[in-house]
Amino acid sequence: MFIRFTIFSIFFVVLSASELTLNEQKLVKKGHKIATIVCNEQKLLSSQIDTIHLSIEQIGEAIIQSQSCPKLSKSKLKAVSYYLLHHTHSPTTTRGTISVPTNAKCPVCGMFVHKYPKWAGMIVVSGEKFYFDGVKDMMKYYIFDVDFPYSRNSIESILVTNFYTLESIDAKSAYYVIGSNMYGPMGNELIPFTTQKEAKNFMLDHKGEKIVRFGDITPKMVMALDGVEYE
Per-residue pLDDT of the chain (231 residues; tens, 9 = 90+): 333 333 323 332 333 333 567 788 889 889 989 998 999 887 887 777 877 667 889 999 999 999 999 999 999 999 999 888 877 555 444 357 899 999 999 999 999 999 999 899 999 999 999 999 999 999 999 999 888 988 888 999 999 999 988 889 999 999 999 999 999 999 999 999 999 988 998 998 888 999 999 999 999 999 999 999 887
Q: Does one domain contain both 211 and 129?
A: yes
- Tally of structural domains, the chain: 2
- Taking the model in full, what pTM does it have? 0.61
Q: What is the pLDDT of residues 203-219, one digit of tens each?
A: 988 889 999 999 999 99
Please indicate, yes or no, if residue 20 is contained in any of the structural domains: yes
Q: Measured between alpha carbons, how far is 22 from 208 in angstroms, rounded to an integer?
A: 28
Helices 74-88 and 22-37, axial angle in degrees (round to 10):
100
Q: Does one domain contain both 215 and 176?
A: yes
Please indicate, yes or no, if residue 74 is contained in any of the structural domains: yes
Please indicate, yes or no, if residue 208 is contained in any of the structural domains: yes
Please indicate, yes or no, if residue 209 is contained in any of the structural domains: yes
Q: Domain end: 37, 63, 92, which one?
A: 92
